[in-house]
Amino acid sequence: MFEACADPKAIEGLIWAACYLTSAKHVLFYWSFLTVLLLLAITAPAALAMGFVGATAARSHLAPVSWLGKIYIWMVRGVPDIIFFLFFVIALDQVIEYSKSLIVCESHAWPWQGLEFRVCPEAKVPLGKSSAFWHQAYGFMLAVVTFAIVFGAFVANVIFGAMNAVPRAQLETAEAYGMSRGQVFRRVLIPQMWVYALPGLGNLWMILIKATPLLFLLGVKDIVYYARELGGSKTQAYEYPHGDWRLWYFIGLMVFYLVFTRISEIGISRLTKKLSHGQATAGGEALRRARA
């Protein structure tokens, strides 16, 4: 990167360390922090939306819709993440390619031949000839969808519970005012349930933060992958040979995760306080007393 770093084996001390920490591979490592943050920024709202839909479906008065919601929650919560990430993603990828092959391929032969999955080259997603960037973007997108489905099921369960926790008296009062079922749901149930959902959602957020190493199973290189790769001992075949430094890299990651989860905790507690205003809960009561 810098001129002084042209021959890493001839330099030592601080300059070596500076060159080492700015090598192209380290720069990729630093960027991967952004990848993880981006993934969280997209996945969290997506999972929340999935969860909201799932919980609403599970509470539905229409039996088939309610079953659908409950089966989704039960199935996804019951399957270990790692199986989900290995099996589901390959299946999702193949379903996408198979659907595309029905439109663009001339022959519609059954693609699952023994161990191989064969569709015509035009049906590959992304196409074999597209650049590496699209392959990565596609992997990232599969990751977002999978994370949203997996975490959505847990979110759905939390929201389902929170909706049931809103005191019945509140809903009855609303009904007594002549509100329709939809109006009670929108005006009373949803605004009140968040305060019950928040502790559970906060937990899930913390778990989601730490679940990002699953990304590597999908071919997206995340911070844990790079820490392991950079920290492993390097022989003279590399420009910067060194011993087993994984411990130091992992300590670095630990600091990152602790800072990040601490910031999240502060954010969540502030949100809880805000949402507790005027609520018929112990937290809401405490706020009222403090003001009085």
Partner 1 sequence: MKRLLIATALVTMAGAAQAQDIVRLGTEGAYPPYNFINDAGEVAGFEREFGDELCNRAGLTCEWVTNDWDSIIPNLQSGNYDVIIAGMSITDEREEVIDFSQGYLPPASSAYLALSADTDLMSGPVAAQTGTIQASFVAENGMTLVEYATPEETVAAVKNGEAVAVLADKDYLVPMANESGGSLVLLEREEAIGGGVGLGFRDSDDDLRGKFDAAIKSMKCDGTLDAMIARPEYFGPEAKTWGDDGKEGC
Angle, alpha carbons 57-63-65 (nearest 5°): 30
Radius of gyration of the chain (CA): 25
H or E element: which one contains 98?
helix 89-104
Q: How far is Cα 142 from Cα 23, in angstroms, rounded to an integer? A: 30
Other CB atoms within 10 Å distance of the CB of residue 23: 17
Alpha carbons 86 and 192: distance in angstroms, whole number: 38
Q: Identify which range of 9-17, 193-201, 228-236, 260-268 contacts partner 1 by CB under 8 A.
A: 228-236
In DSSP terms, 112 is beta-bridged to 117
**Are the CB atoms for 4 and 15 separated by under 8 Å?**
yes
229 near partner 1, judged by CB under 8 A: yes
For partner 1, the closer of residues 37 and 46 by Cβ is 46
Residue closer to partner 1, measured from CB, 148 or 163: 148
Among 14, 132, 282, 290, binds partner 1 (CB under 8 A): 132
Which CB atom, from 94 or from 261, has the smaller least distance to partner 1?
94
User: Does 117 sit near partner 1 (CB under 8 A)?
Assistant: yes
Does 16 interact with partner 1 (rule: CB under 8 A)?
A: no
93 scored as a contact of partner 1 (CB under 8 A) = yes
Q: How far is the CB of 38 from partner 1 (least distance, A)?
A: 17
Q: Does residue 273 touch partner 1 according to CB under 8 A?
A: no
Q: Does 118 bind partner 1 (CB under 8 A)?
A: yes
Q: Which two tokens stand for residue 175?
A: 């009904």
The answer to whether 31 and 192 are in contact (CB under 8 A) is no
CB count within 10 Å of CB 71 equals: 12
Provide the 3-class DSSP secondary structure of residue 116. Answer: strand
Q: Does 124 bind partner 1 (CB under 8 A)?
A: yes
Which parts of 49-88 interact with partner 1 (CB under 8 A)? Answer: 86
Of residues 2, 3, 14, 24, which one binds partner 1 by CB under 8 A?
24
Q: Report residue 2: phi and psi, to 5°.
A: -105, 160
Q: Using the rule CB under 8 A, is 113 a contact of partner 1?
A: yes
- Contacting positions for partner 1 (CB under 8 A): 8, 23-25, 27-28, 86, 90, 92-96, 99-100, 113, 115-119, 121, 124-132, 134-135, 137-138, 141, 145, 216, 219, 229, 232-233, 235-241, 244
